[in-house]
Structure 1
Amino acid sequence: MSFINKSHQSLLFGIAFTFSIAGIGFLLAFLPVFRQIGPLSVAILLAVIYRHFFGFPLSLKKGIQFSAKQLLRLAIILFGLKLNIHVIIEEGIPLLLRDSLVILFSIGFMMLLAKMIKADHSLSLLLGIGTGVCGASAIAAVSPILKAKEEDTALSAGIISLIGTVFAISYVILRPFLPIDAESYGMWAGLSLHEVAHVVLAGAPAGEEGLAMALLGKLGRVFLLVPLCLILMAAMKRKYQTSSNQSLPFPWFLVGFLVTSVIGSFVLGSYIQVSTQFLDGVSTATSFILTMAMVGLGLNVSLRDVRDRALKPIAAVIVTSILLSIVTFFMI
């Protein structure tokens, strides 16, 4: 490969490196021990362990950065295909109102608790957004806007994925003992659990109607990711205008997210016929690309820093998630 210069080698081999770790994460996720955790969390954990024992592979830096930044944006754009705007419009204001309250409570209480126990502000904010909206995907979307460190993005994504899995499994265990029907249970899961995957995991045992309600509750929160990002952009723009003349770059990937949402909701199926297998394949590819991006971010995580910075935010997000489950139970 002498015809490829070092810069291109760093790019190609770095992308291949994140691809390999993401692939291992997906394969391990088929095993019973790792199945409930999910490939994203497994892959991030592998990346963090590699960094801890072998250090950051500087020769692959360009490709790792490409995965962490460019592939991350591509994953968010493709994620828009999962958002069915038809359903949001049909359910209207009541659904969006409840979802808005969930987001406000999650972020507000998380930041209040973080301030009380003096937890790391950046991690706490990302975890609050992940709890309120849609887990690692929301964290990935807002990180460029908040100018969060790559280490904080990967760390908070890993934490929210693991905690969300624990809560989803807990919901499945609790369901037979709850005095609510399948549809109410599904809506509760959709309003309170962290990621779409967690909602599916918890909602599936409630049957088709329960799962449909779970996804409905979750879709509204995903839909609100865009206005939340716009609010954060305005807040950050004001912050940087008052502190310096530094400009805030516009997150064009959000436009892509909106475009794919419109395509998925109004074009595919109506004007362009596609099979369910194709959409499932795109969804799997999106998850894999996001996992590659998180591997790139995870390679920037230092376990020594985690020990010093992450314990208090983890405690805060657990308490916030428990209270969110209680509050939303009385909202259904």
Structure 2
Amino acid sequence: MMKNFDIVTLTVNPSIDKSTHFSGLIAEQKIRCQTPLFDAGGGGINVSKAISRLGGSSLTVFTSGGPVGEMLQDLVAKENIEFESITTKSATRENFIAVDDHTNSQYRFGFTGGSLSETESKAVLDTISNLKPKFLVASGSLNEGLGDDFYQKVAQIAQASHSKLIIDTSGAALQKVLEVGAYLIKPNVGELAKLIGVERLEMEEVNEAAQKIIAKGGAEIVVVSLGPQGAVLVTKEVYEYVPAPNVAKKSTVGAGDSMVGGMVWALSQNKSLKEVIRWGVACGSAATMNEGTQLFKENDAKRLFEWLKNK
């Protein structure tokens, strides 16, 4: 019997992130790369890693296929994160991240995930319905051929299980979730504009736009990431704006997932919403201080949280 987890994260389309350095990008020539680093990647897996860095625990559910899938399971196990994997016929994808040391430019190559069969996607949904956690985090892209309503089905399961759904996706997949309702969504300003059907939003229009979604029952909490400006958390009663701390940025890979991880961990610790958004911004900003796909270091996140506490 599997022990109960307060937090379950779901990654339908995980990846192995392979990162390296090279010097100078020249067409038609062999580019010599340094020994690559391999990380388990994909929204939910990164969220679980972030929770683990803060001393929390979660169960991460993901699909896994082929030798790359086996490597993914090993990498997750090395992080001491408990997981349940759903075997797929198609192989787990790889992403490639390369930094040019001459210019310090980062190049990110993302591949689409193999398609899931009907049996496989049903197995993912069945696994989720059996778990009934307090918080269910669904994050990341969907595989080829999975309908835009896949996360909507996850939202229905969360509702039936009385789990609080935290969803980090965009476009049609997010629109469909709003029809059922989620506990927390995390769009950026551009995505928020699309959700309410406008071209663009100014900073001072964000609160009203988020309130529209809340009034329709789309979400209880809307967290809007404002990039270098920070983030804002909106509920029916609360409006909390947090500026982003000024840190030396090395990579933005995993910053959004780190932010979600920080917030879910804080929610699971019954912290106030004022603290929840600050933990989110602290973890997201701390993640940008590290290279490649390493997420954040716990002491960076804690230091930034202390600094943000009075902001």
Scaled by the length of structure 1, the TM-score of the pair is 0.26
Higher normalized contact order (CA 8 Å, seq sep 6+, divided by chain length): 1
- Choose between structure 1 and 2: higher strand proportion: 2
- Choose between structure 1 and 2: higher helix proportion: 1
